Amino acid sequence: MPYMTAYQYYENGGNQPENANWGSYQYVPLSEIMNNFMLNYVGNHKLINNIDRFTVLFHAKQCIKYLNYDAVKEIKALELTVGDNLLFVLPPDYVNWVRISMEHEGLLHPLTENIQALSSDAYLQDHTAKILFDEDGNVLKPEFSNLDLAQLENTAQSLYINQGHNQNGNYGWYIDGNWYFGYDYGNAYGGFFGMNTETANVLPTFNVDQKAGVIRFSSHMADKLCVLEYVSDGMEGGDNSLIGVNKLFERYVYLYVQSEILSNKFGVQEYVVRRAKKDAENEWRNSRIRMGDFQPGKLLMNLRGQNKWIK
């Protein structure tokens, strides 16, 4: 990475945006990794020779992906307003969620995941419950399933939490700011006994549907602001000029790419491949230790809470 003056770093040389270079010294861009590898690890007197640049690029990108999944854990945050369809479309670089929160009066309230299905497909059926098909033999489907309609029409049941109320812990319907419950709910046939602690929360619940690429929310999340904190794949939408890796992992990327190329190259002795993989594994462990966020101040904050009374 070329060095820059303090003025270039803090003010971007007077250009806009002025924050373009903030934090850039922490990372080595992919283009520089490629150039350094081809210069220092490829040649007639080195283990690797006559290798295509696109092969190195492929392994380098794979390495950066694995680093983002397993080690770096750099969290991105995205806020969107949930519409009437109760969906939050996942960003394209989404790998896994860290926390999903609802914003209310300037505060973020973490939401609880509901592992129960909030949506489903449906097939059209006749009066004898037989599935209907079109002329090509494909199953006919309605626009919405009954489960989807229950969510969209705000008729899905939710858990009611109100200590001291006779319906506390029961499921009911929250419609237009009011709660409604079925007749003699506690004594009805097939009623619930005890509280479902998985969704025992007055806030909305969510379910991540990775196949559909959306987060589905319970009915009273409509028109609320949602903040998604998630792990990215680090590919920056396919723009190679924006892809980079933390400096503490730079040498690991070189060793990983070298070991992968040697393991797939014809005629390389097995002991050479094993040594290359062992070097990469050792560097992986050292890099993880260097990146470990072990700070005495954070440990002290946790220890201060050890005498807290839990009511």
160 close to 172: Cβ distance less than 8 angstroms: yes
Q: What is the pLDDT along the chain (311 residues), one digit of tens a residue?
A: 567 788 888 888 888 888 888 877 888 889 999 999 999 999 888 889 889 999 999 999 999 988 888 877 678 899 999 988 888 999 998 988 999 999 988 889 999 888 765 667 788 888 888 888 888 888 888 877 776 766 666 555 567 777 777 777 776 666 556 666 654 444 443 444 455 566 566 788 888 988 889 998 887 788 899 999 998 888 887 788 888 888 889 999 999 999 999 999 888 899 999 999 999 999 999 888 887 766 777 777 777 766 766 65
Residue with tokens 């592992």: 115
User: For the chain, how big is the Rg over CA atoms in Å?
Assistant: 27
Query: What 3-state class would DSSP assign to 264?
Result: coil
261 close to 42: Cβ distance less than 8 angstroms: no
- The residue extents of the domains of the chain are 75-231
What the block records as the tokens of 124 is 């059209």
The number of helices, as runs of H, and strands, as runs of E, in the chain is: 7, 13
What the block records as the tokens of 61 is 């990108």
Q: 174 forms bridges with which residues in the sheet? A: 179
Query: What 3-state class would DSSP assign to 171?
Result: strand
For 164, residues 6+ apart whose C-beta sits below 8 A from its C-beta are: none
